Amino acid sequence: GAGVSQSPRYKVAKRGQDVALRCDPISGHVSLFWYQQALGQGPEFLTYFQNEAQLDKSGLPSDRFFAERPEGSVSTLKIQRTQQEDSAVYLCASSSHDREGGRSPLHFGNGTRLTVT
Amino acid sequence: GNSVTQMEGPVTLSEEAFLTINCTYTATGYPSLFWYVQYPGEGLQLLLKATKADDKGSNKGFEATYRKETTSFHLEKGSVQVSDSAVYFCALSDQGGSEKLVFGKGTKLTVNP
């Protein structure tokens, strides 16, 4: 497809379970971001990749959160030992760079809605 | 740190009414400013942006002007349509290396026929 694809669309996990959320960015997009959006709130930054390098993970809320992008394309956000406060929509976004080195607008996926019971 | 404050919703208007959604920001340096829109069942989409003071971003009849003196980026549209019903997010780009976005909480707009 032409857009950013995220899977699964919905995920229900019992507290304490591990989950893995997948993001397929637009082909050729160098930059990839993960955001967390709690109900009724705006998205909050989690982490940023440029190709396979994770250049900023300052937004990850705890060491239970881990993200990777080993081949510079698909990315996985893993949450270990999920807690109820992890319930949110997790958004992935990607962008390319233009010829002048600037970044194109972010393209967002539809998100994965995680519910921890 | 950088932050965005936008008008609390929800906002309900009749078709053809004038729309203003207020947005103010706190930032170091000179961030770029954005409005994103999320239509029901869809992902976030860029609506418009402005990269420096006094720039006006515009798209689909919406406008917003980057006002450095008032640290504001209010969204306006002269005549809203039912199809404009969505959640609108104001955002700024962090001027650090990743240029990550800092979002406001969002304002839900409902336009009735």
Indicate if the alpha-carbon torsion angle B110, A115, B104, B37 is positive or negative.
Answer: negative
CA of A41 to nearest chain B CA: how many angstroms apart? 5
A3–B42 C-beta distance less than 8 A: no
Q: Read off the pLDDT of residues B15-35 as tens digits, 9 standing for 90 and up.
A: 999 999 999 999 988 899 999
Contacts of A94 (CB under 8 A, 6+ apart): A4, A23, A25, A26, A29, A31, A32, A33, A106, A107
Strand B75-77, strand B62-65: pairing: antiparallel
Q: d(Cα A29, Cα A107) in Å, to the nearest integer?
A: 10
pLDDT at A31 over 80: yes
Query: In the predicted model, what is the mean pLDDT of residues A13-39?
Result: 96
Residue B97 has pLDDT above 80, yes or no: no
Distance between A15 CA and the closest CA of chain B, angstroms: 27
Query: Mean pLDDT across chain B, nearest whole number?
Result: 93
CB pairs under 8 A between A and B: 52
- Distant-in-sequence, close-in-space partners of A31: CB < 8 Å, separation ≥ 6: A48, A49, A50, A94, A95, A96, A97, A103, B98
pLDDT for B100: 87
Contact (Cβ atoms closer than 8 angstroms) between residue B84 and residue B31: no
- DSSP conformation letters of chain B: --EEEE--S-EEEETT--EEE-EEEE-SS---EEEEEE-TTS--EEEEEE-STT-EEEETTEEEE-BTTTTB--EEESS--GGG-EEEEEEEE-SSTT--EEE---EEEEEE-
Contact A56 B96 (CB under 8 A): yes
Q: Over chain A, what is the mean pLDDT?
A: 93
For an interface test with B, which of A69, A106, A112 has the most B Cβ atoms less than 10 Å from its Cβ? A106
| Whether pLDDT at B36 is above 70 | yes
Interface test with A, best of B3, B99, B105, B108 (most A CBs within 10 A): B99
pLDDT above 80 (res A101):
no
Give contacts of B99 with chain A, Cβ < 8 Å.
Answer: 103
